[in-house]
Structure 1
């Protein structure tokens, strides 16, 4: 899976540097609530105009703030946060895959749960597969999905070579599967196997782990 350089590493570094100062963080906190003139900012934060001008220049050069001439008193300019500017310092965007394929060893629990979660969260299609498919989905996985009101199609587990196609993003959700697959996979989520302990708590823990990872990845693919 290709990671695209947008926003650029240089741009992200500049944003991080601009925000690595308590005064500039206070300015962005205030501007997240209201546009303000430089004099209003100085009065609210309590710093002299020359020091404020320095901090505003750093924020402006990082693309975090912009100025707009007042439509009332044309001698004034209002400073505002650039829309979504604070999102720029997050991880880089990803190329959108044709499909997301979740892989574990047996394709009986974690990969099915992850694929079902993905279908609920994203318009990008999802599938699941296993390096050594089991005869059926594990009852513990079905019970955990039922407890969390997650619909899982009762599909027979399938082998990786029956499922993968060009353009797929492969996400292994099992250490064994990750280590067995030849060549690099797209991503790997190290989710403990709930089948071994077989308890409701183990399946719920795997569910929560996968939910956290799906929730974190989905916006990055949606906005790519």
Structure 2
């Protein structure tokens, strides 16, 4: 881990530690609405001034809040949330990738949907493959994609060894593929197989699960 990455991680730790105290979390909640003076905060929270000062100083040191002197009564200060108060609070490690490769067993539903959704969410290229590819994409996957306004390409499922490149960032989207490929690296999403039930509701549930995960990962993957 680089020095810069270590410093960013330590800053995240400090912010989480500051927010772990109920009183400080309440102060942050109040500051999301507007700026408040220590006197106003004290009245709202009902705590001694010395304890409030400690909490405010902790929030400042963690980079969560800033203070400025009143332009009217120079003895008064106002606290506000720092402009980047919540930056980096969501857990996440940035990944460099030349291409994201989504893998399931048959390459007929989940991996196809994931690759198509990825193309909407990121400029990093994507592809899909199967450990034991089917003859065609599942009709339920095509129909679920259409219901959600997504165009699923009419492409034949492909085998992993035909598609994979050593530089791919691999995401397995079914448990069978993940357990077959243990040791290959990448990450795993345990998405329920909609073909087991083979109903529109099952495909919609898989679609929504994958869409949610794609949105979260796309924000953390940058082009290598």
Shorter-chain TM range is 0.7 to 0.9
Q: CA deviation at 1:70?
A: 4.0
Partner of 1:7: 8
Give the Cα separation in 2 of the matches to 1:6 and 1:212: 29
Contact 1:133 1:159 survives alignment (8 Å): yes
Structure 1 residue 143, shift from structure 2 partner: 1.3
Deviations along 1:31-71, whole A, 9 cap, x unmatched? 11212232232233332321210111221222211223445
- Cα-to-partner distance string for 1:158-190 (whole Å, 9 max, x where unaligned): 121222224321100011111222633311011
Matches within 5 A, 1:174-189: 174-181=174-181, 183-189=183-189
Please name the residue that 1:197 is paired with. Answer: 197
Aligned position for 1:107: 107
1:106–1:5 distance in 2 versus 1, CA, 3 Å:
farther
Instruction: Please report how far the alpha carbon of residue 75 of structure 1 lies from its aligned counterpart in structure 2 after TM superposition.
Output: 4.2
What TM-score do the two structures reach when normalised by structure 1? 0.87
**Structure 2 residue runs without a partner (length 5+):** none
Partner of 1:138: 138
Decide whether aligned partners of structure 1 residues 103 and 85 sit closer, same or farther in structure 2, where only a CA change above 3 A counts: same
Aligned-partner Cα distance in 2 for 1:210–1:21: 34
Larger mean CA deviation between 134-143 and 157-166 belongs to: 157-166
Give the number of aligned pairs.
218
TM-score by length of 2: 0.87
Contact 1:172–1:185 (CA under 8 A) maintained in structure 2:
no
**Distance verdict in 2 for CA 1:166–1:82, change over 3 Å:** farther
Q: Tell me if the contact between 1:172 and 1:188 (Cα under 8 Å) persists in the aligned partners.
A: yes
Aligned to 1:40: 40
Distance 1:212 1:29 in 2: 26
Counterpart of 2:57 in 1: which secondary structure?
helix
Q: Which runs of 5+ in 1 are unaligned?
A: none
User: What is the deviation of 1:202?
Assistant: 1.9
Cα contact 1:6–1:93 (8 A) shared by 2: no
Aligned to 1:31: 31
Deviates more, 1:111-120 or 1:192-201: 192-201
